[in-house]
Amino acid sequence: MLPIQLIPYFQYTVAAVIGTLILGLGCWQKGQKGFLGAVVAVDTVDPDSLLTPWLIFCWLKLVVQGFRRAHAVLGRFYDLSGVRTGKRVAAWEEVAGYFSVFAWKPDTPAEPQLSELLQRYSQVTAQFLFGNTSQQRLSSPP
């Protein structure tokens, strides 16, 4: 059984990353650019979070990559037809599509649906939804 609540090589849990991105998405939807709004929103929730705009940018990139990689598998369980993906789609827009499918909103706790999502994906693939384990990382020649 995989520790699906974790992301390999990350200090924060999946719930913390997704929760932060939900707050960041709310800022993006209000017209804010960048990631400072997400940091400020999280700091009002947890002032000891030690988040930076750069870290949230990295998380957004990680989550988008995870969803893209898992799109076909997740499509078996969820209607992903409304999710726009690709290089020409803004990362926040792409994440907004997935979050909408999973009904994740700032005023609704995401953890029950998140847990179900992680379990389904892990059971089908025996992999983590987000991040790469050491076995999946490319080795570089010496």
Number of structural domains, the chain? 1
> Residue 32 domain-assigned?
yes
> Residue 108 domain-assigned?
yes
> Residue 9 domain-assigned?
no
Q: How far, in whole angstroms, is CA 116 from its chain's centroid? A: 14
CA distances from 5 to 11, 26, 112, 117, 127 (A): 12, 23, 12, 11, 12
- One-letter amino acid identity for 4? I
> Residue 1 domain-assigned?
no
> Residue 8 domain-assigned?
no
> Residue 136 domain-assigned?
no
CA atoms of 139 and 117, how far apart (whole Å): 30
0.85 exceeded by the pTM?
A: no
> Residue 131 domain-assigned?
no
How would you write the pLDDT of the chain (142 residues) with one tens digit per residue?
Answer: 568 788 888 888 898 889 888 888 888 888 877 677 777 766 555 566 677 888 889 999 999 999 999 999 999 999 999 999 888 888 999 999 999 999 888 777 778 889 999 999 999 999 899 987 766 666 555 5
> Residue 58 domain-assigned?
yes
Print burial letters for 95-116: b (CB count within 10 Å at least 16), e (below 16). bbbbbebbebeeeeebeebbee
Domain of 108?
Answer: 14-125
